[in-house]
Amino acid sequence: MALKTNQNQLAQLKLQGSVIPPLAFGWEVDRTGRGMMLPCVGGITLNIRVGDSVYKFVGDHLEPGVSCIAGSFSDKRTGNPNSGFNIYSCIGNQATILSGLAKGKKGIVTGHHGGVEHVIIDFPQNVLEKLSYDDKIMITGVGQGLKLLDYPDIFASGLDPKLLHKIPTKTSGSQLKVPVVACVPAELMGSGLGHNDSFKGDYDIQTSDPGVVKKLQLEKLRYGDLVAIIDHQSTYGWSYKKGAVSIAVVVHGDSTLAGHGPGVQTILTSQKGLIDPVINKNANIGYYLKIGRFEGKKR
């Protein structure tokens, strides 16, 4: 039975952004004390898509597909217009290219990267090849304010209602069963804790202990995967709460910096633990939306 929501009451906003060139931070020191200088955030990333391993590529916090901001590259990222561009674009929103060789082609928002305040968008491979850093992109922003009418204690944020309906959730009394590829214990959550922008940013799963990562099967994580964060609530920011459960989407790649790792953006959270995560290897937004490495494949 389809979830009842207030989607017909949600505002639809046109949000215009620009493709941002890759950022370079120079030498950084990883958690073992080694100096590194690696590809990082931003840009048009041709060979990293939703569905790829977050560990496969040499880099730090790599973003799949296309990274965008609003306004000029010199504008303050945490102020308007970029703040509005980030907050009102939601995972699953449609994006349309307004200019250049790929004008008119469509893509899908796959996440946000806090700190650099990027909106990340997946486009088909032939479209990525045609994009330039002069191109403008329009997102149809809808999703903030989404409510699950039969589950008032489950809070949704940054989620397009069309994507919600494609995720094969199941009702079980007062609980909502949600497919995930893995469950992440609270003690692994790192960078981003304490921030109150869980409606549009991300926080990181620490990967500094390889043994724990393997034990929890987190070494299989892919861009776009759904994961359950156990004993964490994300209603008004990311914080520890015994019994709470949050569902999040993997939005950026691994990192070797202390306190960092693959970044996840929360889309559902319950302070009362009314979300029941169910392990499913296909729990990936790419699989549900047929984007990234799942493009053209049957469900």
The CATH code of domain 154-294 reads 2.102.30.10
Share of the chain above pLDDT 90, in %: 90
- What is the dihedral sign for C-alpha 139, 13, 286, 225? positive
Interval 176-191: pLDDT, tens: 999 999 999 999 999 9
Interval 15-38: pLDDT, tens: 999 999 999 988 999 999 999 999
Asked if residue 74 has pLDDT above 60, the reply is no
Global pTM exceeds 0.85: yes
Q: What is the mean pLDDT of residues 243-252?
A: 98
pLDDT of residue 1: 61
Helix and strand element counts for the chain (H, E): 5, 18
Half-sphere exposure of 250 (CA within 13 A, CB side): 35
Interval 187-223: pLDDT, tens: 999 999 989 888 899 999 999 999 999 999 999 999 9
pLDDT of residue 184: 98
Asked if residue 244 has pLDDT above 80, the reply is yes
pLDDT of residue 17: 95
Interval 75-102: pLDDT, tens: 667 778 889 999 999 999 999 999 999 9
Q: Nearest 5°: CA angle at 186, between 183 and 191?
A: 110
Asked if residue 147 has pLDDT above 80, the reply is yes
- Collect all residues with Cβ–Cβ distance below 8 Å to 52 and sequence separation of at least 6: 64, 222, 223, 292, 293
Range(s) within the chain of domains with CATH label 2.40.10.170: 7-141
Range(s) within the chain of domains with CATH label 2.102.30.10: 154-294
7-141 belongs to which CATH class? mainly beta
pLDDT of residue 80: 84
pLDDT of residue 78: 74
Interval 108-125: pLDDT, tens: 999 999 999 999 999 999
